[in-house]
Structure formats: structure tokens, C-alpha cells
Amino acid sequence: MDEEIRRLRADARRLAQGKHRSQVRYPDGFRRAAVTVARRQQRQGESLTRLAQEIGVSEPTLTKWVRPRPRPGLRPVAVMTAPPSEDGGENPVLITASGVRVEGLDRDGLIAVLRALM
């Protein structure tokens, strides 16, 4: 086991001390260091399962960290106008691709919601 893995293992033990496995929160610096070591070891033919055991984190956690993150993108939404209200005004409705429905706001309010979602 090389020195960097020993240091990560010691850090992982310190972070997990007195906590349940699901309650451990690893800082970004630790994650970046673990990913760097994991990718280097993978190029040398090492398995992530073995490396996760050596570092002291679960295999699914290390696998998730190593997996490339998808680039954030715009989410498709549809803006439709509902039938006119009783007072004769428009009732714009926002329905996102995931099914979230926003209604009861004026046009400017919906635009603000859309901007906040981006």
C-alpha cells in the first residue's frame, strides 16, 4: 500500500469516527484525492473494489466518485396558456418535463421561476 493510500485511509477513519457508515460526509479534497489515486490504480489494473477496501470507503461510493459527472444542461419545459380566467386575464401555467406544475403566477413570475430553475 503506498503512502497516499495510507493517508487517505487515515483520513477516512478520522472522518468516520463515531458515525454510522451512511452518516460520513467526505470533503471535496478527500474525494478528489481518492479519485486521482483510483484512476491511477485502475490504469495499473487494480480493481475499484480492492482500492475502496484499502482506502476505507464503500465500493459504491468510490465508483460514484470515479464516474464522470454529467454536464449540467438546460431542462426542457413547456409554457402554455390556460383558458382565460373568470376576470378575463390569462393564466399561464408552467409544466416541467418531470411533471412539476406551476400556476397562479403572472408572466413575469413564471419567467422568474424559469430563471431560478436554470
Sheet holding 101-103, edge to edge: 77-82, 91-96, 101-103
pLDDT of 112 strictly over 90: no
Place of cell 500500500: 1
- What is the mean pLDDT of the segment spanning 79-105? 71
Is 0.85 topped by the overall pTM? no
Please report, for residues 14, 48, 63, the alpha-carbon distance to residue 38 in angstroms, rounded to integers and kept in the order given.
20, 7, 9
- What is the mean pLDDT of the segment spanning 40-56? 91
Nearest CA to 35 out of 13, 10, 14, 4 is that of 4
Please give the share of the chain, as a percent, with pLDDT higher than 70. Answer: 86
E strand or H helix at 80: strand 77-82
Range from 14-18, 47-51, 53-57, 94-98 carrying the lowest mean pLDDT? 94-98
Q: Answer yes or no: are the C-beta atoms of 66 and 57 closer than 8 Å.
A: no
